[in-house]
Amino acid sequence: MTVRRECTVAGCSSPTRARGMCSRHYQRTVKHGTPNPKDVQERVHRNGSCQVEHCALKIKAHGYCQKHYQRWQKYGDPGAERDPSQPRLCVVCSVDISHRKSNALTCSLPCKATAADRRRNGRPSATLRKENRRARMLGNPGYVEVTDWEWLRVKNRYRGCCAYCGKRTPRPHMDHVVPLARGGRHAPANVVPACAACNVSKFKFFLVEWRLRQRRTTVEVAELGV
């Protein structure tokens, strides 16, 4: 027999959803930081502004505006301010980044990639996991796992563009110049960023074969007068 759990907030008998609270009180806690935000709720309904005194900015989360919400996340107090005499340091290598933007956390692209890797608890990105797994399944003889930093270097080498057509690609595919199905290695030296169209079109052909197929297709289309 299943026991029905009730909300732990006094005077509420609704079934629990999360953290011992019903759906209504849980949503209030997520937004305002407390299940019964009476004063905060009145202020929110009145003008929709931040609950910090003398702040009229729009609410982002937990009853705070963007600025006070970030302070609350970082220092635990929405009214806390950073000591201007203390330099801002990179979260990875502790280099002074006071000269960079106020929201910058790292000093360079390598540190940014390292910080992103730490946020994923050391797990590589979805693109790398997919390609590394595919190489292992094919029993690639020269298998070398491609890390986030190596893939970032490859993308920066082509300046965020497709290696084949030169079109700017925000989320490029990882393509193997010598296809894995034709004996190519899964290694940083054999991967390039490619747009979806080029990656799908190239399939498992060598680069010369693929270019010849493209040329033939262009000639056939021109002869048909399309």
pLDDT digits (tens, 9 = 90+) for 89-147: 888 888 888 888 877 888 888 888 778 777 766 666 777 777 777 777 677 777 888 88
Q: Which domains does the chain have, with CATH numbers?
A: 23-75 (no CATH), 126-224 (1.10.30)
2-46 pLDDT tens trace: 566 788 888 888 888 777 888 888 887 777 677 776 655 555 544
**Cα angle: 93, vertex 98, 102; to 5 degrees:** 105
Distance between CA atoms of residues 36 and 23, nearest Å: 13
pTM beyond 0.85, yes or no: no
Mind listing the pLDDT tens digit for each residue in 140-164? 777 888 888 888 899 999 988 999 9
Q: How confident is the model at residue 193 (pLDDT cuts 50, 70, 90)?
A: very high
Q: What pLDDT shows up at residue 161?
A: 92
Sequential DSSP letters for 30-47? HHHSSS--HHHHHHHHHH
- Tell the residue number behind the tokens 């006071």, with chain if given: 98
174 has a pLDDT exceeding 80:
yes
In the chain, what is the greatest distance between 2 CA atoms, to the nearest angstrom? Answer: 80
Average pLDDT, the chain: 80
pLDDT attached to residue 124: 66
Structure tokens belonging to residue 18: 């999360």
How high is the pLDDT of residue 2?
56
pLDDT of 194 > 90? The answer is yes
Contact 209, 189 (CB under 8 A): no
pLDDT digits (tens, 9 = 90+) for 41-66: 555 544 577 888 888 788 877 778 88
